[in-house]
Structure 1
């Protein structure tokens, strides 16, 4: 779990860990320089749960993506599973067991992510996160993240893949977000990616959210502004650099797709549109597909 000034909602999340029906877990918290009571709350939680190894370590002080990648690069021991958590959500009691059941028996690297219940700051107003109907895949991962890191779980081979690639990504400047990078890495490596439409946690929306839900008209208009302002292009370029640092971990076919994708913006418009069509990239939802086409047309993908 990444932590930064999260005391306001932290106790709810910590108590939801203690309430898991899969009771064999340890917790590593990377604190990125909190100025509130959050670190002390983690220490108190550790003292109250001596049968679990609860560790508080210093984060790199470079934001949540670098914090998560640093923790992944430093995973100790040989855990069967590694799950990621935000500081302000509330896990449902079967958050861990549900993800483990979905990946159990997969021998190669595997990544699990799920839908969520979106709630207000006081946990009221529960509504479902967007439903995704198209399957996960690398051609989707390059242009869209479909599962929040707060829902993600990896099997042993999966976190080993993430651990080994994390240092490479950090040396290249790091991705925009850790969850998007993980989806790209696993899909590009030909690993098993499971998107579960069963919600596994309460995803709290509040004024301090770094990234909120992507549902509704407001979210669509925001994505259009991100295209027009060049933000989407900057994100995909940064993600591309971070992923390219681990290109040797991708399948040959996906390496070729990544190279072609990174070369799109340098092409003149007619050639760019033909190359974009040939790549067969896709986002979940018809409106998002239109936004994607707009970004390609403007050379801001």
Structure 2
């Protein structure tokens, strides 16, 4: 992708938000990819979430290389908060930025990533807008690239309650969208990218999905989230897990939105009430909710499984099903590195 493929954006700083946790193995490649961005006006804001390896030393050495004004350590750095709280802390510390870009510690950005994101966001004007894109899925050595799934045409509300298409390693928000997320109250167990996508969608913001890949998404053999599997492998894994974790997270997202529904668009509130009734009511309410044409997943087979789970949903939500993470739980490094939905 050449620089000519994206229009010139005003020379304003983007806040790159990086939460680190025992990332010494792959951090240097990601940091170097920031330096290679064709949009050079960025400031890296980072906080460490309790690393015990050389991550902090790597970050501070990068600050000496790039300049202290371009690599700023958060005053909250150090205590372990967990991945979602750590990223949202960074976001709330930087809501004055022209745009914010989430970054995972173990991927590699392609040079045009920021420029292309800002080009698309500029078309939204002052309206809240969230940009996300496809990725090249690569192994831990950045080899064996495969293109991630397309999602253009399937974004928005209430589809965002069924599936996250806004992978955090590609996500960039303008100031208006970042302010919406910063002012929201996220539910336990969510992840920062999915919650950002949900809030911006529900509040009437624009979701801009770029079919051009912008990131080398590094997959590890030990990833708990983000491991590459062919479709039949993903389907079998979903069937083995069952619906409990999936439906519980949907209910948490829906109930969190209901608690702050005054900020939602009238259309989103109407759709959300249908979803709420389907999650808490009987079979007739579930069928009514599923008649909403936007309440669906991307592919036919994914949608078929989702509808089956939604229709057979029972009131099992009083106790937390096994496998639903909470913010207070410690997490392994691999889980922290890959939070894509």
TM-score by length of 2: 0.80
d(CA) in 1 for partners of 2:307, 2:79: 37
Aligned Cα RMSD in Å?
Answer: 2.1
Q: 1:65 aligns with which of 74, 84, 89?
A: 84
Within the candidate set 87, 93, 98, 2:105 is matched to 87
CA distance in 2, matches of 1:96, 1:63: 26
**Residue equivalent to 1:191:** 205
- Asked whether the 8 Å contact 2:127–2:176 carries over to 1, the reply is yes
CA shift for structure 1 position 270: 4.0
Question: Partner of 1:115 in structure 2?
Answer: 134
SS in 1 for 2:295: coil
Give the Cα separation in 2 of the matches to 1:27 and 1:245: 33
Whether 2:240 is the aligned partner of 1:225: answer yes
Quick one: which of 259, 265, 268 aligns to 2:282?
268
Q: How does 1:13-28 map to 2 (within 5 A)?
A: 13-28=30-45
Q: CA deviation at 1:68?
A: 1.2
1:106-145 deviation per Cα after TM superposition (whole angstroms, max 9, x unaligned): 2211100000000000101001001225341202111111
> In the alignment, what sits opposite 1:102?
120
Q: Does 1:3 align with 2:17?
A: no
Deviates more, 1:208-217 or 1:105-114: 208-217
Instruction: Determine if contact 1:139/1:280 at 8 Å carries over to the other structure.
Output: yes
Query: In the alignment, is the contact (CA less than 8 A) between 1:20 and 1:95 conserved in 2?
Result: yes
* Superposition TM-score, scaled by structure 1 size: 0.90
Match of 1:30 among 43, 47, 53: 47
CA distance in 1, matches of 2:91, 2:275: 27
Q: What 5-or-longer segments of structure 1 have no aligned partner? A: none
Q: Is the contact between residue 139 and residue 279 of structure 1 (CA under 8 Å) also seen in structure 2?
A: no
1:146-295 equivalences in 2 (<5 Å): 146-165=165-184, 168-169=185-186, 173-212=187-226, 213=228, 216-226=231-241, 228-278=242-292, 280-295=294-309
Alignment partner of 1:149: what SS? coil
- Contact 1:65–1:174 (CA under 8 A) maintained in structure 2: no
Equivalenced residue count is: 294
Moved more, 186-195 or 238-247: 238-247
Q: What is the rounded CA distance, in whole Å, between the counterparts of 1:231 and 1:34 in structure 2?
A: 29
Aligned-partner Cα distance in 2 for 1:6–1:88: 7
Give the 3-state SS of the residue equivalent to 1:184 in structure 2: helix
Residues 157-199 of structure 1 show CA distances to partners (whole Å, capped at 9, x for unaligned) of 121222222xx22xxx445111111111111111111011100
